Every structure is written in structure tokens, then in C-alpha cells.
Structure 1
């Protein structure tokens, strides 16, 4: 039987981490452990985790001194003891049945290495229309479908798949670590699914990022795909449209919002590069055997 560990990277997240942990603890019958990785926070992030740990020993605090989401994620994943590793942000609120839906999916589908689900917004003036848009597009899709990449704020992966990709992921902090991991899985022949029942809400703080800073965030998306030789003109046009839309709505969003902007999860330039070129794929039979624990 599969067990679920949930990893939460955190840097100065005292304003949101308590609600994030409480939502997870509400599903603790389906969660083996919750690992919060403190990435050099200077606020009360650690104190919030230790407060929950006093009441719920399944909560663990791990420190990672090297700044960057990728380093915090890797440390958390390496500490995880479950056969399935969930990954959310410190401002994520998991929806009802989130943990159970992950375990059910991996029990049934040995042909998938990772899974993600729909993402809604909270504390944003655009939360209601965005939810309506996500619900509309999700309703038109199958309950389970293959996707090429998944967002780190709502993600779960087999530990066996993480171990297969561990030495292949980049350590560059100017890349999106979640896209990079997704593309590493794709490169070695492992698939990611999206399922409707795995819903979360995330903060709308990213929409408050000033346009010039947001440009770096979007450029990192293109840079990550290019790192895997998968960038295209179509992707470039899509990202340019995203930047234009963000620039247009940003002034109104800033006026209507009651929350603060969020620090970018990527740096403007990388300091470390891990090559993942010319990798040989893992055979599907080999992965299925590993995933089933045989």
C-alpha cells in the first residue's frame, strides 16, 4: 500500500504557512508525514511549524541553508519516507479529498510517475472569474489525462520516479524547478497525469508582481524549456501574451487586492548548472516494477 509524504518548501511564509498546514492536517489520516523545508527564513516560519509539531508529531521541520526553491525541494524530497511524495507551496490550501485522491490514483495507475490537478485562487480580486474559467475548461476534459508539465504548488510523484530523476534535475535557480523536473521525467520516458479530484487553492500574490519583475518570471519559463531544447516560437508568443496581459491588469489588481506581492521563486541568473543532455530512457516495464515495489 502506498504512503504519502508532503513536502512544503518555505521562505518567510509565516503569513500563510499556518493555514497551509492546517488544511493538510485535516487530511492526516491519508498523510504519512508533512515535511516543511525552511529555506533561511527570518520570520516566524520555523515557530509555526514547531507549534504544529508539538500537537502533531507527523509534522517535521528541515532546514536548507542554500537559497533557492530547487534546493529546498530536493532536501524535502530526499527526506521523504513515503512511496509517494506530494509537493505544494506554503500558501497552498489543499481541497477536500486531495490526499486520498492522490493515493487512489497511484494505486490504480502504475503507468504514471506523477500527478497534478486543478488550481484555483484565493485572496485575489479575480478569484471568482478565474475559478469559473478553470471549472469550465476542466469540465470539458477527461477525468484523467496526460500533461507535459505540472506546477509545483499542486504535485505528487512516486519516490521511485524521483530517485530516477534526482541526478538529472538542474540546480540552476534561474529555471522553474517544477517545469525542469517535469521535463526530466518526460525525457526518461515517465508520464504525468492531471486528475480533476486533486484540487487546491493558491494565493493570488503572483498577480501583484510588478511587470518588470514578472518579465523575469516569464523569461525563466522560456529558459527552462530551452534548457531541455524544447523551446519554440509558439511558446515564445504565448509567454509574450502572458506578459502583456499581466501588465494590463496589474494596476487594477494592485488597487483591488488586500494581500502583498510574493517574492519570485526564480533568480535573474543561474549560478549552477546540472547537465541533463543525452539521457537514455528508462524502460516502462522497469519503472512499473519499481513503482509496484516488486
Structure 2
């Protein structure tokens, strides 16, 4: 009897109350031959997300749903990564739309760069009234030759790593809710000398809905990154603090625009809905 071939690329999606977006995300993933399985980790949804995923999986055998009772991205991500069978484990968010060649770019890059353990791609917005600003910023960075190469961080909606790398750092990762989980994972990899590369061709479009988060809550969210650095005994340098302040200032300048932007209908409204600070609540 011939045993089934080991899946090469698994994709993990932590999800909480994503009924409005999860199917669009899944359709783009299952259409790609380079992607072998998609694991949705439901983190306690109450809006019908699990039912939508199960209905979709009934006609798309690549898709599987599992449940993680502990709330937060770190435990949800870990549950999905542990379940994944692929030699490469990618991660994205339920409100993110990956490019049509996303899976192939990940596989080809890691196949041709054996020294690299993890990769992070670039994201623009698919639902922002001022999304052109981010695209323009990336264009400038491209023209300056600042994109690509070795980096020190990962980006949750658009990242992947080798299974062997995950197995090395699995027990090092933190599962507290007040941790920047992608930075935490990147620091765990870096402390073991495992290389992370930015891949410019690895593209996705994510939601800008986190931009509606109030400046006060956004500042607290940014502080999580500094605490994550401190937790790993990395000195919180002036440069790190300056990056946080600059990020907060940029967010605060844009916030009045997003405050009244309805991301579902893509138009301004007096009651656009609740703010959402991260992919899990």
C-alpha cells in the first residue's frame, strides 16, 4: 500500500468572529496548488464562523477546522502549528487576501534558500480609504532598495516558517494574551540563530480595521511590543522607543479618517461598528 504524500505547505488561520471575511480568505487559499492544507483555528466565535468553515470544508477537502478554548493569538496559533502536517507552516489572518501565487512564492523561496528558516511578506490594505499611502510608501522603499533580505521580525498576516524551526522554538514561545506573538516568535527564532528573510514577492492585502482603534488603546497595544522585547532580555533601545512613538503618531494622524469608515460597506458612516485592535478581538 502506498502511503499518502506528506503535505508540503500548510496554512494556519486563527479566527474569532470572522463570519463576514473568512470565506473570501479561504477561497484564495484553496485555489492554489502549492497549498496542501488550510487549518482554521476557531478561538471561541459566536457569530457563525465555525459553521461557515465547516460548510466550506465539506466541498474543499484541503480545509479543516479545530478549536482552541484559550483566548488569544498565541495559543490559537500554537494549536494550528501543532496540528499542521506540512514541512512549511504559513500563517495569515481571516481578514487577509493573499496573492494568487502566495503559496508558490513561499515554497520556491525556502526551497532555494536553505539557510533561511522563516519568511515574512508585505501587506497593503484592501478596504482602506487611504490605502494608496501605504502602497506609495512601499514603492519608495522598493526604489531605495530597502525591501527584502534578512530581518528581525515577522508579520502575522503574511509569514511562514519551516516545521523544523517551529519544533526548535515551540516550547520557547509565550502564550500570554499580552504578548506581540509575531515578534515573540521572531525573537525565539533569532535567539537560536535561525534566519528570517523578507520576501518582496510574497504579497497579501489585509484589513485596515485595526486603524479605527483609539489612540489610547493603540498606545497600549504598541507597549506590548516593548514588553515582549524586555521579556526576552533584549534591551529596549532608544531606536525601539522611537519606532513605537512614530507608529503611534502615524496611527493618531490617520485615526480621525478611520473613525467613521465602515470597512464592510467601504464608505463613511456615523456608526461604522466596533473597533478591533487585533486579529483575535
**Normalising by structure 1, what TM-score?**
0.86
Distance 1:119 1:103, change over 3 A: same
- Partners of 2:142 and 2:43 lie apart in 1 by 34
Q: State whether residues 113 and 190 of structure 1, in contact with CA within 8 Å, keep that contact through their aligned partners in structure 2.
A: yes
Q: State whether residues 124 and 257 of structure 1, in contact with CA within 8 Å, keep that contact through their aligned partners in structure 2.
A: no
Q: Greater shift after overlay, 208-217 or 67-76?
A: 208-217
Q: State whether residues 7 and 37 of structure 2, in contact with CA within 8 Å, keep that contact through their aligned partners in structure 1.
A: no
| TM superposition shift of 1:232 | 1.1
**Does residue 77 of structure 1 match 2:81?**
yes
Greater fraction strand: 2
CA offset digits 1:42-95 (Å, max 9, x no partner): 111101111211111110000001111100000000000000000001111001
| TM superposition shift of 1:143 | 6.9
The SS at the match of 1:201 is strand
Q: State whether residues 7 and 36 of structure 2, in contact with CA within 8 Å, keep that contact through their aligned partners in structure 1.
A: no
Structure 2: tracts of 5 or more residues without a match: 1-5, 265-272
RMSD: 1.8
Aligned to 1:86: 90
Alignment of 1:48-197 (within 5 A): 48-141=52-145, 144-197=148-201
- Partners of 2:37 and 2:248 lie apart in 1 by 38
| TM superposition shift of 1:96 | 2.2
The SS at the match of 2:134 is helix
Which consecutive segments of 4 or more residues in structure 1 shift more than 4 A? 259-262
Distance 1:178 1:261, change over 3 A: farther
The SS at the match of 1:13 is coil
- Partners of 1:2 and 1:105 lie apart in 2 by 17
| TM superposition shift of 1:30 | 0.8
Alignment of 1:233-248 (within 5 A): 233-248=238-253
CA offset digits 1:255-281 (Å, max 9, x no partner): 3444445533499xxxxxxxxxxxxxx
Q: State whether residues 25 and 95 of structure 2, in contact with CA within 8 Å, keep that contact through their aligned partners in structure 1.
A: yes
- Partners of 2:165 and 2:129 lie apart in 1 by 38
**Normalising by structure 2, what TM-score?**
0.90
| TM superposition shift of 1:7 | 0.2
- Partners of 1:183 and 1:172 lie apart in 2 by 15
CA offset digits 1:133-155 (Å, max 9, x no partner): 11331343377400100111100
CA offset digits 1:212-247 (Å, max 9, x no partner): 211121111111112122221221122122222222
Q: Greater shift after overlay, 114-123 or 225-234?
A: 225-234
Q: State whether residues 41 and 67 of structure 2, in contact with CA within 8 Å, keep that contact through their aligned partners in structure 1.
A: yes
User: Which of 18, 21, 44 lines up with 2:23 in the alignment?
Assistant: 18
Length, aligned pairs only? 266
**Does residue 264 of structure 1 match 2:277?**
yes
Aligned to 1:43: 47
CA offset digits 1:184-239 (Å, max 9, x no partner): 00000001011111000000101111112111211111111121222212211221
